Structure 1
């Protein structure tokens, strides 16, 4: 049996964004690359989670839900992740996935005290990233796309913190051998990022955000865009591929 990298879809984007650009699972599958065997599990939609032994790895998407809502599908996935971590299954959690993975391993998730982080922001790698297989060859500082209100407020015991910025100290971390959480969105491009800002314009303006400035700051994130494909390449090597 050829094991697949399963995309665990835990949310759906705004209808207008989906109509123009597709959804979280589309962007993630594209980022994994056409040569990767990919399976889709719509967790939020009620699909059964795959047996861990059938997975080469999993990538958990973003979501408009909140981890602290403790929705039934999310609680079930959290328990599944807890068991998967014990097998050293390669995991990449993005945004919501980053937070849920962190809580599954014993960390704390909640509303960020500074409110929402949104737009293209600069990220700084920490010294621990220099020897990390996923981050070691990246520049020390690079831009990423973000949109989140909740965060991993406290990392799980034993986690290795890999990247931060002035707003978010836990932008990336590693658990065990190859389980990663990234708060930013490596699967976004500039059009998706702009659409997310526009889609939340009213909320952002009520919060005192300068929407025009946020839109002006949106730019390409070529370094971040490599991460999901690099993760897939690491999984392939682990599985004995080329």
Structure 2
């Protein structure tokens, strides 16, 4: 490889102020988890910044957001349209939480509020048979822990999408479209400490939703397999450039 692979992190929002003060923001967590062999650039699309031509990038990561895809904000719809070009050009894409939903929406899937409400905390992801031959998920355990927090979901996959993973609550935890565009509803960038911080901030809302914040906090544990997906994605980007 004659140069570092260029990866853009599309920042689609910001975390709770209390968490940002102690742990940084979404992009910081992705920078920590992705390979230091990548040349990383953060573009704040939620603030209207443009990522340029898709051909400028060797890989694309889309962060989570407190926004809702179904609101169809102008910046979100513009980013969705841009992502369709990235998929067409076979630029590796990894969409996380909001990014997962935005990718699905961009390619013709259905996104909206989960009919059973919020999923948050550490939960098990079950991989499906198609994951065995998937470039990103192959050789992972059939079940692994992951950190989650979301109210909206991919209610219907895009045409031609391959379903790779699910959870007890969420039937569409991971999918691939084409050769190298993935969406994951869970958060590989979260540490267990960040997950605990989320649950602490969310505790009043969780109690109002008849969830048990103390039990959810007690169940938090590290999720190294899920976190390792960021390195695996990094390796795929570097290999594709080679």
Q: TM-score range by the shorter chain?
A: over 0.9
User: Structure 2 vs 1, CA of residues 230 and 2 (structure 1 numbering), >3 Å: closer, same or farther?
Assistant: closer
How do residues 153-172 of structure 1 correspond to structure 2 at under 5 angstroms?
A: 153-172=155-174
- CA-CA distance at 1:35 after TM superposition: 1.9
Contact 1:122 1:144 in 2 (8 A): yes
TM-score scaled by length of structure 2: 0.97
- CA-CA distance at 1:137 after TM superposition: 1.0
Moved more, 8-17 or 26-35: 26-35
Match of 1:98 in 2: 100
Gaps of 5+ in 1: none
Q: Size of the alignment, in residue pairs?
A: 240
Supply the RMSD in Å over aligned alpha carbons: 0.9
The CA deviation string for residues 151-189 of structure 1, in whole angstroms up to 9 with x for no partner, is 000001100000001110100000000000000000000
Contact 2:5 2:237 in 1 (8 A): no
SS of structure 1 residue aligned to 2:58: strand
SS of structure 2 residue aligned to 1:200: helix
- CA-CA distance at 1:142 after TM superposition: 0.5
Match of 2:176 in 1: 174
Tell me how far apart the structure 2 counterparts of residues 176 and 170 of structure 1 sit (CA, whole Å).
Answer: 17
The CA deviation string for residues 46-76 of structure 1, in whole angstroms up to 9 with x for no partner, is 2112211110010000000000111111011
Gaps of 5+ in 2: none
The CA deviation string for residues 9-34 of structure 1, in whole angstroms up to 9 with x for no partner, is 00100000000000000001111122
- CA-CA distance at 1:224 after TM superposition: 0.5
Match of 2:66 in 1: 64
Tell me how far apart the structure 2 counterparts of residues 170 and 188 of structure 1 sit (CA, whole Å).
Answer: 19
Tell me how far apart the structure 1 counterparts of residues 234 and 98 of structure 2 sit (CA, whole Å).
Answer: 20
Contact 2:4 2:37 in 1 (8 A): no
Contact 2:5 2:238 in 1 (8 A): no
Match of 2:192 in 1: 190
How do residues 131-170 of structure 1 correspond to structure 2 at under 5 angstroms?
A: 131-170=133-172
Moved more, 43-52 or 131-140: 43-52
